[in-house]
Amino acid sequence: MRRASVLPMSIRGWLWASLFLWVACIFLAPQARAESAAELSREAQSALDRLYQQEPKTRVLGNKAVGVLVFPRILKGGLLVGAETGDGALIRRGKVQAYYNISAVSFGLQAGAQEFSYALFFMNEPAMRYLDQSDGWSLGAGPSLVVVDDSYAASITTTTLSQDVYAVPFGGQGLMAGMGLEGSKITRTQPD
């Protein structure tokens, strides 16, 4: 007599697909991160210029910020289990000062794959020091963080800026349900 499986076939299929996508993200992440410092610097500056063209109001953030951490390409994928990774450059006074990686693993209702960019505008020195001195910044802890969407971006003026850090996602390609920053960790790195 054959014993019945504990999980219905469709749930097992989803779990196997989730595991496959998660493993694929882990193994593809080093390839996505294999950039030289010069390449990453160029890509970060180019991505920031592109953001300013697409959303002119974000230039107000850039003009007031003490530093901008730009992740020109973040890869995110998942099916119940998700992972994201990307490398970025910290631009202060028009020059790249340091390099960082953003990564996260998440569980829950999510599906799809996406490539996108992020710019984090640090509006004061204490927030900048927190990034510099922490052994990895888990977003959602530490300095106050506001994610800027299209409607918020339209209302940005020099008098409305009161938070420590503004995060601006842009250039998204692909479809990802359940996207968020909370739980992502930013760690200082040194590219080749």
Report pLDDT for 120: 93
Report pLDDT for 15: 59
Report pLDDT for 156: 54
Q: What is the mean pLDDT of each run of 10 residues along the chain (192 residues)?
A: 54 61 54 72 96 90 94 84 88 94 79 85 91 78 67 50 81 57 81 77
Report pLDDT for 153: 47
Q: Are 81 and 18 in contact (CB under 8 A)?
A: yes
Q: Considering the entire predicted model, what is its pTM?
A: 0.75
In the chain, domain spans: 9-189
Report pLDDT for 24: 58
